[in-house]
Amino acid sequence: TQLLEQSPQFLSIQEGENLTVYCNSSSVFSSLQWYRQEPGEGPVLLVTVVTGGEVKKLKRLTFQFGDARKDSSLHITAAQPGDTGLYLCAGAARGGADGLTFGKGTHLIIQP
Amino acid sequence: DVKVTQSSRYLVKRTGEKVFLECVQDMDHENMFWYRQDPGLGLRLIYFSYDVKMKEKGDIPEGYSVSREKKERFSLILESASTNQTSMYLCASVVAGGPFGETQYFGPGTRLLVL
How confident is the model over A79-96, as pLDDT tens digits? Answer: 999 999 999 999 887 655
In our burial notation (b when 16+ CB lie closer than 10 A, e otherwise), range A53-69 reads ebeeeeeebbbbbbeeb
Nearest chain A residue to B109 by CA distance is A42
A42 touches chain B (CB under 8 A): yes
Which structural domain range is residue B34 located in? 16-96
Residue B105 lies in a domain: no
CB contact under 8 A, A42 and B108: yes
A50 touches chain B (CB under 8 A): yes
Q: What pLDDT does B94 receive?
A: 83
A31 touches chain B (CB under 8 A): yes
Q: What is the CATH number of the domain that holds B22?
A: 2.60.40.10
In chain A, residues with a C-beta closer than 8 Å to the C-beta of B29 are: none
Integer Cα distance of B113 and B11 in angstroms: 6
A110 touches chain B (CB under 8 A): no
Task: Classify strands A85-92 and A61-65 as parallel, antiparallel or unpaired.
Answer: unpaired
Integer Cα distance of B40 and B57 in angstroms: 22
A97 touches chain B (CB under 8 A): yes
CB A39 within 8 A of CB A26: no
**Per-residue pLDDT reduced to its tens digit, B23-66:** 999 988 888 999 999 988 889 999 999 889 999 999 899 999 99
Residue B58 lies in a domain: yes
> CB B50: neighbour CB atoms within 10 A?
15
For residue B33, give how far its alpha carbon lies from the nearest alpha carbon of chain A (Å): 7
Q: What pLDDT does A3 receive?
A: 83
DSSP H/E element including A22: strand A19-24
Residue B60 lies in a domain: yes
End-to-end Cα separation, chain A, in angstroms: 40
Please report the domains of chain A, with CATH numbers, ordered by start residue.
Answer: 5-111 (2.60.40.10)
What residues does A49 pair with on adjacent strands? A32
Residue B108 lies in a domain: no
Left if phi > 0, otherwise alpha if psi is -120 to 50, otherwise beta: which for A18? beta
Please give the backbone phi and psi of residue B85, each rounded to the nearest 5 degrees, phi first: -100, 5
Integer Cα distance of A74 and A84 in angstroms: 14
Residue B1 lies in a domain: no
* Domains contained in chain B, number: 1
**Per-residue pLDDT reduced to its tens digit, A12-64:** 999 999 999 999 998 888 888 999 999 888 999 899 898 899 999 999 999 99
Give the DSSP letter of residue B12. E
Q: What pLDDT does A100 receive?
A: 82
